[in-house]
Amino acid sequence: MEDLKPIDVLICGAGAAGLTLAIDLARRGVTFRLVDRLDAPFAGSRGKGVQPRTLEVFEDLGVVEALMAAGGPYPAQRIHRPDGGPEGGHDEVQEMAVTPPTAQEPYRTPLMVPQFATEAVLRARLGRLGGAVEYGRELLAFEQRDDHVVAQLGGAAGPETIACRYLVGGDGGRSFVRKALDVDFPGKTLGVRAIVADIVLEGLPRDAWHRFNDGDMARQYALCPLAGTELFQLQAPIPLEGEVDLSAAGLQAFIAARTPGTALVVREVRWASAYGMNARLADRYRVGRVFLIGDAAHIHPPTGGQGLNTSVQDAYNLGWKLAAVLAGAPEVLLDTYEEERRPIAATMLGLATDLLDRARRGDMRRGREVHQLDLGYPSSSLALEAPERQGGLLAGDRAPDAALRDADGGAVRLFELTSGPHWTLVVRGAADGLPASSEALWVVAIGEDGAFRDPDDALGAVYGLARGDLALIRPDGYVGAIIAAGERGRLAAYLDRVLPPA
């Protein structure tokens, strides 16, 4: 390994998942390379919905404000009646319910950001952390050794052999990494083929998501104005077989055939794709020193906007675990990545497939089920309750935010204290007898005898903590452990499982 160019992690695939992982590793001081076989960034809008839970992730990574500036809210759907053309009668339906934020859930409404814009924001953040994507670099082969992986890269810059402690495949649904590992990718083809295109369009107002011929699979299509751009996203089912003309002239004819007499004019096609829908889940997420994230581990229909969000959270789950183990935490911690994330993907696949069936019937309304705020890891081996709790907030659940006050009366959110690569140990009361705060573990005392005040009694009403009780919040914003005052002896053994040596 000394004769090669050792790094900690090689990430293959610079989509949203790969970029998220690279950002998380960069802020933790982990050495990595992020390569992508494409010569330039992905140019399409494909995954345009950023769900509330992912907005929390992006707040922690320092990009949520830039994302909000790049995107905007989902418009209401304008369902055009069959007897009224694009300018005729219609009904208005709000697809994404707009829900006001609360102290516990600061983001409760999905944000529309075209995927190319999301990835541009992530690349900019990575650049500020000193990282960059190596485009035109393709993984050609790899071999696992006892304590590292040897990888062969190719591209215009020539062949290269490197060594890495771990390899992560975020290289999409046709993943080379997954195939090289011989990991099965079972599932099913859903019998739906569709087009998606980013187009410059004239003749339609940008104040709504326009839907035509809903419920008629042979004629329906939708045109959604993409927030932050001049573009519309065209979506439509197409026959399972046959060529599709994705040029401006071809899409103009496509629209005219489905709504004769339309005044719509397709001026330009920026990006377009025809694809068949599948629902598949990798049998394994880890083989030795190699991991799968994102579409390399799960693919799904686009309904409900779950894919990009699930992929980002794969990376967010894996990043802190890789960094901890590289710093000396027990290797077994890495097994919890598949343990926690694979069941989440299975749930997401079922939801997206159900929403696809509803979309076929013309029902595109979405509610809290797509927000991912209620997903968690209650069955994880990292979830500890001492003693076991019977209701309310449990270990493994998403850690709610809370409105606190500092010693001077200034407003402080709990998320501000948990933000960053560290664990956060919250105690209701004084921090006497607890470990001292360190780079890896921040100790936050909340109460009349603590550094912060809790005017809304969030620790009691939301977290269910009595005086002296502890809540240990993971770096990815989930509750790792809830420990009663009389069970504090359990804390040290837990921390030994997840933190590197002091």
Residue 96 is encoded by which pair of tokens?
């994404």
pTM of the model: 0.95
- What angle separates helix 52-60 from helix 307-326, to the nearest 10 degrees? 40
pLDDT class for 348, splitting at 50, 70, 90?
confident
Is residue 368's pLDDT more than 90? no
Is residue 26's pLDDT more than 90? yes
pLDDT at 269: 98
pLDDT at 303: 72
Kindly report, residue by residue over 98-131, the tens digit of the pLDDT.
789 999 999 999 999 999 999 999 999 999 999 9
CA–CA separation, 137 vs 316, rounded Å?
Answer: 24
pLDDT class for 347, splitting at 50, 70, 90?
confident
Is residue 96's pLDDT more than 70? no
pLDDT at 502: 83
* Alpha-carbon torsion, ordered 417, 333, 166, 25, to 10 deg: 0
pLDDT at 57: 98
Region 5-15 average pLDDT: 94
pLDDT at 87: 46
- Strands 77-80 and 133-135 turn out to be unpaired
CA–CA separation, 110 vs 42, rounded Å?
Answer: 22
pLDDT at 81: 74
Q: Where are the domains of the chain?
A: 6-68+111-187+279-370, 384-498
- For 384-498, CATH number out of 1.10.1750.10, 3.40.50.970, 2.40.50.100, 3.40.30.120 equals 3.40.30.120
- Which of 85-94, 361-370, 406-415, 427-436 has the lowest average pLDDT? 85-94
pLDDT at 480: 98
Which own/partner pairs from 72-76 qualify as long-range (CB within 8 Å, at least 24 positions apart)? 72/111, 72/112, 72/227, 72/228, 73/98, 73/109, 73/111, 73/112, 73/227, 74/49, 74/109, 74/110, 74/112, 74/209, 75/206, 75/207, 75/208, 75/209, 75/224, 75/225, 76/208, 76/209
Percent of the chain with pLDDT strictly greater than 90: 82
Is residue 400's pLDDT more than 70? yes
Percent of the chain with pLDDT strictly greater than 70: 93
384-498 has the same fold as 6-68+111-187+279-370: no
| Residue 362 or residue 68, greater confidence | 68
Region 209-237 average pLDDT: 93
Is residue 16's pLDDT more than 70? yes
CA nearest to 386, candidates 497, 481, 495, 460: 481
pLDDT at 353: 76
Is residue 38's pLDDT more than 80? yes
Region 83-106 average pLDDT: 68
Give 107's contacts (C-beta < 8 A, 6+ positions apart).
52, 53, 55, 56, 59, 101
**DSSP labels, 12-26:** E--SHHHHHHHHHHH
Residue 438: count other Cβ atoms within 10 Å of its Cβ: 12
Kindly report, residue by residue over 276-286, the tens digit of the pLDDT.
999 999 999 99
pLDDT at 1: 46
pLDDT class for 149, splitting at 50, 70, 90?
very high
pLDDT at 83: 56
pLDDT class for 215, splitting at 50, 70, 90?
confident
CATH architecture of 6-68+111-187+279-370: 3-Layer(bba) Sandwich (3.50)
Is residue 53's pLDDT more than 50? yes
pLDDT at 358: 65
Residue 406 is encoded by which pair of tokens?
């500092």
pLDDT class for 468, splitting at 50, 70, 90?
very high
Kindly report, residue by residue over 167-204, the tens digit of the pLDDT.
999 999 999 999 999 999 999 888 889 999 999 999 99
CB 12 within 8 A of CB 176: yes
Region 484-500 average pLDDT: 97
Kindly report, residue by residue over 283-325, the tens digit of the pLDDT.
999 999 999 999 999 998 887 678 899 999 999 999 999 999 9
CB 338 within 8 A of CB 285: yes
pLDDT at 84: 47
CB 404 within 8 A of CB 414: yes
